[in-house]
Amino acid sequence: MPRAYAPELAESPAGPGRSAPEVVVLGSAGGPTPKAARRPVSHALVIDGEVTLVDCGNGVAGQYVAAGLDLGRLRRILISHHHIDHVADVATLVHLAWSQLEDPVAVIGPPPLRRIFDLHYEAFATDIESRMQDEGRPHLREFVQITEIDCDSALEHSGARITAALVEHPPLRAFAYRIDQGGASICFSGDTRPSTALAALAQDADLLVHETTYLANAADFLPAARAAQVLARMRAVHSDPAGAAWIASAAGVGALLLSPVGAFGPVADEEILDEATASFSGPAWVGSDLLRVPLPIRGDI
């Protein structure tokens, strides 16, 4: 049995009525500096056409539509932490989806989520007020339900059980999320160094989406005087492919998606997979924008 699978891009978009559960990579770039080949971090969990987003990097609205996802089926947004590559467009996305929404979107994550939205309403009052007049829409805030969390948490939302666990991404408070919905269990790491709290959260999940930073060739692309310091810093806050795979193995997950991906220089997906599959024997993918990963469901949907 092959241990790594080549990425597949689906021909048909997800949409209302599509029942195959999947994770769609909307943005697979780790780190704040814009990349030519990858957009900033965002992943969509799609179950029966209903969408849960984990993180909202810059440009997520365009990627959401490019993936064929229905803005009207956006149910919830989970924010892992407040680095800009994970959260830049969280309010902008809901604003841009506003005219398509019938129900409020649940937005869950650490503070200052509420302040981000309040400042957005203030900064973009001109557009909000004009569209309320022109289109007769209730205020944008009526379509946003914010839950701020600052510790390990579990909550239910519209048929989904969402469990959040603090992971290790100092100095920020960063959360990993597990979503149990429709018989599927999916865990998203956010940014973290290899975390035993994450391994516990992800226990027996169908799929773990784990960040990774490829460090094996980093010294070739760093100034010699700073290389050791930068590498030590990276290992303190991120996970290399072997570290992510070790967590996947410890958790006993069914499959591993390594995304987002950070690197200091060019690296082939095969090199990342080789490092990961040395300690994880299940199906594994390296994230790329608009990659669709079907969920290997063990229960009924």
- DSSP code at position 104: P
Binding mask 204-233 toward Zn ion (x if CB under 5 A, else -) reads ------------------------------
Calpha distance 230→17 (Å, rounded): 47
Tell me phi and psi for residue 184, to 5 degrees. Answer: -105, 150
Report in angstroms how near the CB of residue 169 gets to Zn ion at its nearest. 5
Report in angstroms how near the CB of residue 222 gets to Zn ion at its nearest. 19
The site that binds Zn ion (CB under 5 A) totals a number of residues, namely: 2
Which residue blocks in 145-283 are alpha helix, DSSP H?
196-201, 224-237, 241-251, 269-277
Stretch that binds Zn ion, among 18-26, 45-53, 54-62, 79-87 (CB under 5 A): 79-87
User: 62 vs 24, 29, 93, 286, 293, CA distance in Å?
Assistant: 14, 15, 9, 22, 20
- Whose Cβ is closer to Zn ion: residue 14's or residue 261's? 261
CA–chain centroid gap for 196, Å, is 19
- Whose Cβ is closer to Zn ion: residue 58's or residue 277's? 58
Stretch that binds Zn ion, among 80-88, 115-123, 181-189, 223-231 (CB under 5 A): 80-88
Report in angstroms how near the CB of residue 81 gets to Zn ion at its nearest. 6
Q: Map residue 263 onto helix, strand or coil.
A: strand
Among 43, 83, 193, 210, binds Zn ion (CB under 5 A): 83
Report in angstroms how near the CB of residue 174 gets to Zn ion at its nearest. 7
User: 133 vs 128, 137, 173, 194, 214, CA distance in Å?
Assistant: 9, 7, 40, 50, 50
Residue 164 region by backbone torsions, left for phi larger than 0, else alpha for psi between -120 and 50, else beta: beta
- Whose Cβ is closer to Zn ion: residue 141's or residue 173's? 173
Stretch that binds Zn ion, among 81-89, 179-187, 220-228, 253-261 (CB under 5 A): 81-89
Report in angstroms how near the CB of residue 90 gets to Zn ion at its nearest. 14
- Whose Cβ is closer to Zn ion: residue 43's or residue 83's? 83
| 273 Cβ contact partners less than 8 Å away, ≥ 6 residues apart | 4, 241, 258, 284, 286
- Whose Cβ is closer to Zn ion: residue 234's or residue 276's? 234
Among 180, 191, 206, 240, binds Zn ion (CB under 5 A): 191
- Whose Cβ is closer to Zn ion: residue 52's or residue 213's? 213
- Whose Cβ is closer to Zn ion: residue 190's or residue 282's? 190
Residues 34 to 63: which contact Zn ion by CB under 5 A? Answer: none
- Whose Cβ is closer to Zn ion: residue 75's or residue 238's? 238
Relative orientation angle of helices 113-123 and 125-135, to the nearest 10 degrees: 70
Examine residue 82 and tell whether it contacts Zn ion (CB under 5 A): no
Which residue blocks in 202-262 are alpha helix, DSSP H?
224-237, 241-251
Q: What sign has the CA pseudo-torsion 116, 120, 121, 123?
A: positive
Stretch that binds Zn ion, among 57-65, 191-199, 263-271, 287-295 (CB under 5 A): 191-199
Q: What counts of helices (H) and strands (E) characterise the chain? A: 9, 14
Residues that bind Zn ion (CB under 5 A): 83, 191
